[in-house]
Chain A
Amino acid sequence: MSRIARRFAALKEQGRGALIPYLQACDPDYDTSLALLRAMPGAGADLIEIGVPFSDPSADGPTIQLAARRGLKAGSSMVRVLEMVARFREDDADTPIILMGYLNPIEAYGHARFCADAARAGVDGLIVVDMPPEEADLLDGPAVEAGLDIIRLVAPTTDDVRLPVVCGHASGFIYYVSITGVTGTRTASSDELAAALPRLRAATDLPVAIGFGIRSPEQAAAAVRAADAAVVASALIATLEDSLDEQGRATPDTLPRVLAQLSALAEAVRSARKA
């Protein structure tokens, strides 16, 4: 059983949903983001998404765009990202790590070499934003061979004809993009989520995570009441950004503030299905 499947099975046993925080690699620098990554499980992260900085993040809103730019300026590269994961794995064997990004840095690294190196570093799954199932042929084979899950995005625009095709190619979990739009903008209403989930449940047995636009503990709680996991990205990055000094460098406030926010989200997720 993969680390992702084990984690979701364990949480199901406990009767609670998962919190999946996101950080952008090397934002604002390698050491700070590694320290943040290492501290996240202790603050309540059940799985972690690491954004791989890309020069042209065309599905991301302003917050993650700026984070990617800071990461690249701080020297992020695919090699550095994998190195960061390997360092994390030195003292955490259980928390699943998912890399989220765009296809071109993977192509530049080489599909097969990337999957092998990512698995060796301790990566469990991949979310490639600009790679729909129709274009996944070059990555699917090497990913399966390396034991990496390819996590598929499903959007509100994904119709009933298309849904089985998308879910049919998926493993790990399904990432439901709860709004039409870029990351970190508006939030889906609980009515919208209530309408979307039965459709998804009918199409897949995989756990469903909800992302895009979840900012507050209340919204995270609502997401895990409707589904199996809540992804929080831009809201955490906005806090990180706000903690930086005028030159964009980390301050003593950076980690405590982001982790405090993460703890509050985790508390809400853990108590969401009680009462």
Chain B
Amino acid sequence: MSAADTSGAERSVAEALPNSLRAGPDPRGRFGIFGGRFVAETLMPLVLELDAAYAAAKADPAFRTELDYYLKDYVGRPSPLWFARRLTEELGGARIYMKREELNHTGSHKLNNVMGQILLARRMGRSRIVAETGAGQHGVATATVCALFGLKCTIYMGATDVERQKPNVFRMRLLGAEVVPVTSGAGTLKDAMNEAMRDWVTNVRDTYFLVGTVAGPHPYPQMVRDFQSVIGEETRVQMQEAEGRLPDVIVAAIGGGSNAMGIFHPFLDDPSVRLIGVEAAGRGLDSGETAASILRGRPGVLHGNRTYLLQNEDGQIDEAHSISAGLDYPGIGPEHSWLADIGRVEYVGATDDQALDAFQLCTRTEGIIPALESAHALAHAAVIAPTLSPETLLVVNISGRGDKDIFTVAAHLGVTL
């Protein structure tokens, strides 16, 4: 079958499922009122070019074959679906499974997306990669593939994050990336995103902007979701093998929302599967120090898309707060905003303290040190599991490993390393 045939077949499937929640975005990159392409004119032609290049790659079976090869032999996929027996016993209730994304190369789900985009960047003939990073997981994943393919790599990271994620900064530099600390604003992920966009607008000819989450101008939210959907697709098959049916509940942490979108998307059209996104409530949803964009934000426009944002009444973007640098962002992917508005996904919060407790619980009962990001999902799972029947199948997405967080956790527990 030729590439054109494949794309025709995909179109007819989408047309045959007019009520599918998986058909978005529309050609303008909209999920309901959310998404779009809110970028400066200088970038607009690049964003349109990227959209066309991604559509062509997606329709090309050779691209899929190449990506599958790297996902299997370099990333280490599929990741296991692990039945967490001791955690299940400890909480007493739902059967808890863990999707082990922390076992991927570089220690998080980030490499799924980065591998897809780097192959696309190569197809587009780009020689230089720029990316933003918060906790450093996306930066490390990006620096890794740049080392693998011998591409120049510049990572923008907030100065505050550079300070609290030193091991990842060192990793990126070992991998050959230039790490640029960003001092504007509070020096966190949103400021790194601004600076990466400034780099891109300056170096339009040779540079590929490798966005790390399901946000930014179209096609990034769709493309990153597609690359991350491997998480949910595997979970579907693995749960069938383990239990002979679909899961009942899936819980994932949300910063920008890529690990959650990846595990949710293949289940959007299965109404029996309850989907729960856990935002970082920080010091509490109403403490004024939170990163819960959906629960405490309003729709607005930032970083290329319309989505829920933490902002003041004048439309100035607020600083987010979370113990987890990876969730410390005042926005969220536009598809999540839409899923929240239509009620398909429930969005809840978990505080810094709840995440710290869950971090320790998971480590103690399962011998798995989760990333502080993933600990937010575990925290909510720990709240609801005891209220659910023992037949309930609950999946928690362990999006990353927590080795990078031991210094932060030690400091909060009053331990000097």
Interface residues of A (CB under 8 A from B): 54-61, 65, 69, 72, 77-79, 102-109, 129-132, 134-135, 152-159, 162, 166, 177, 180-182, 185
15 A-B pairs whose Cβ atoms sit less than 8 Å apart in the complex: A54-B315, A55-B316, A56-B317, A57-B194, A59-B197, A103-B38, A105-B316, A130-B304, A132-B39, A134-B44, A162-B45, A166-B41, A177-B40, A180-B205, A182-B201
State A61–B198 Cα separation when bound (angstroms).
Answer: 8
Residues of A contacting B205 with CB < 8 Å? 180
Enumerate the 4 nearest inter-chain pairs by beta-carbon distance, A residue then B residue, closest first.
Answer: A108-B315, A105-B315, A155-B42, A181-B202
Note all chain A residues with C-beta closer than 8 A to B309: 104
Are B40 and A153 closer than 8 Å at their CB atoms? yes
- Enumerate chain A residues within 8 angstroms of B48, measured Cβ to Cβ: 162
Contact across chains for A78 and B198 when beta carbons are under 8 A apart: no
What's the least CB distance linking B355 to chain A, in Å?
27
Residue of B nearest to A162 (CB): B45
Name A155's closest neighbour in chain B (CB-CB). Answer: B42
Task: Pick the interface stretch among B113-121, B224-232, B286-294, B295-303.
Answer: B295-303
Taking the complex as formed, is B3 at the interface, i.e. its CB lies under 8 A from any CB of chain A?
no
Q: A65-B184, A155-B41, A158-B45 are in contact. Are A182 and B202 (CB under 8 A)?
A: yes
Query: Which residues of B are at the interface with A, using a C-beta cutoff of 8 A?
Result: 28, 36-46, 48, 184-185, 190, 193-194, 197-198, 201-205, 298-304, 309, 311, 313-317
Given contacts A108-B311, A108-B314, contact A177 B42 (CB under 8 A): yes
Whether A104 contacts B39 in the complex (CB less than 8 A), given A55-B185, A182-B201, comes out as no
CB distance from B64 to the nearest CB of A (A): 30
Per the bound structure, the CA–CA distance linking A153 and B40 in Å amounts to 8
Measured CA separation A58–B194 after assembly (Å): 5
- By a CB distance below 8 angstroms, the chain B residues around A55 are 185, 316-317
| Alpha-carbon distance between A59 and B204 when the two chains are bound, in angstroms | 13
**A65, closest chain B residue (CB):** B184
Chain B residues, CB < 8 A from A130: 38-40, 301, 304
Q: Enumerate chain A residues within 8 angstroms of B304, measured Cβ to Cβ.
A: 130
Q: In the assembled complex, how far is the CB of residue B37 from the closest CB belonging to chain A, in whole angstroms? A: 6
CB distance from B155 to the nearest CB of A (A): 17
A105-B315, A108-B300 as given contacts; A132 in contact with B37, CB under 8 Å: yes
A102 to B188, CA, bound (A): 21
4 extra interchain contacts, Cβ-Cβ under 8 A, other than A58-B303, A134-B36? Answer: A55-B185, A107-B301, A130-B40, A153-B41
Smallest CB–CB gap between A248 and chain B, Å?
Answer: 16
Question: Which of B36, B302, B315 has most A Cβ within 10 Å?
Answer: B315
Cα A181 to Cα B42 with chains together (Å)? 8
Q: Please give, as numbers and ranges, the residues of chain A lying within 8 Å of B28 by CB-CB distance.
A: 134
Shortest Cβ distance from B183 into chain A, in angstroms?
10
Q: Distance (Å) between the CB of A74 and the closest chain B CB?
A: 13
Contacts of B203 in A (CB 8 A): 180
Q: Which residue of A lies closest to B203 (CB)?
A: A180
B301→A182 contact, CB < 8 A? no
**Most B CB atoms within 10 A — which of A57, A156, A157?**
A157
For B314, list chain A residues within 8 Å (CB): 77-79, 105, 108-109
A158–B198 CB distance below 8 A? no
Question: Which single residue of chain B is at the shortest CB-CB distance from A81?
Answer: B314
- B198 CB contact (under 8 Å) in A58, A69, A131, A155: A58
